[in-house]
Structure 1
Amino acid sequence: MLICSAFKGNLTSMMVFQPSLPDIDDLGALAASSYPIMIRPRHIKHIEHFLTLGHKHEAKIREQMMQVTDGMLSTRIEDNDRRFAYLEKFHIARFQVNNRQHMVLGRPVFHLMDSCLVPFHAVYIVPYGSPYLGFLNSLIRSSHEFGFERYWDRIMNTAFIQSGAKVVHRRHNSNDDPVVLKLEHFHAVFSLWFIGMGLACAAFIWELLTHNYNWAITKRQR
């Protein structure tokens, strides 16, 4: 009931509000737009390698790019500044588009482009336009927004159903895929929980004995 209400609420909000801007999904539309494109310094080398000045759209897009610091780009996105387009990694951009922080009454502020100039890690998110999406698109987007897609993907992961297999993958940074939980993880959690409870009980008993000892000394002195 809660899930259906959330889906219907998002669909209603998308159908009620009139579109303010058209969607930008291809390179030609991006080049024809007036949005400056904010880009992180570490992505400059990939842009210079993949974007050719001889191509009319790619050359125009390179002219629109603004190299800014990570903090400035993050601040603009957090403030939902729709005056700019932003270059981000795919999984980061998808998270930002579906994040509740970047929604107004259930309607996304940004739109994730279908086309990508740098195919292996970068996509563009631009101000969102048309709200007239079908119910199927609403279900798919909501499954990403509420974490259902990630949950289903995790429980269907073959590594999760392999009994007795050791976890060899370790996350080194936030860009890595999540580690699938194993039964050993739950054992470790409960072991640490029991250790913590034991330490807490020992500290409580020590404080209780100390309090009684001090109270007995004070009573004798009186």
Structure 2
Amino acid sequence: MAAQPRDETGPRHVAIIMDGNGRWATNRGRPRLFGHHAGARRVREVVEACPEVGVDYLTIFAFSTENWKRTQVEVAGLMSLFRRYIAKETRALRDRNVRVRFIGDRVRLDAKLIQLMDDLERETETCTGTNLTIALNYGGRDEVARATKRLARDVRDGKLDPEEVTVETLPRYLDTHVLPDPDLVIRTSGEARISNFLLWQSAYAEYEFVDTLWPDFTAEEFASLVGSYGKRDRRFGGVKT
């Protein structure tokens, strides 16, 4: 289906906390990694739906800084899944004109995964369609702490006057500095919390908490949530007259 003319009342940037893979698998008597593989397949469907519903930017929460607390087997399986997903999807993403970026701290990731991430970003850097951002080893507090360190170094080195530090300054040091703030954040699986995701960027985002487990989250449900966004009264602290 061809991309539809952009609906200016709809969200330009949607962020998704993809929750429920493990429970989805457990409900079927399968290991948790089975659910993560099913969830990875669902990502493709949602990415492909973005042009159809007028979403220019999609950010997905793939692995948090807290997810290292999971079992060694699950973490190793997830890292293997990320490597396989990137290697398998690189050509398809480029062919669909999807620009891919990664956010998060790469220090704890293995060299092979980092290389694949770098390659995917390079392979898609000229794409002009959907902007897909994958949050991998990402945490909102960690991101702000890293950004503050970079800002502090610039102050120390005389590149930034402390009096120039404002709410407009810090975002330039965030992982997402090239992205617009999310308009809509969706969390699947029935949990109603934000789990340290895009804390600074989502200050004025609208939220949708849905009961659907991520592997069951369809493009149709995604389109419905995007469509309902335009019916919200967004005042950003002001009062409409």
TM bucket, shorter chain: under 0.3
Whichever structure has more helix as a proportion of its residues is: 1
**Bigger-Rg structure (1/2):** 1
> TM-score when scaled to structure 2?
0.23
- The one of the two structures with greater contact order (alpha-carbon pairs below 8 A, sep at least 6) is 2
* TM-score, normalised via structure 1 length: 0.25
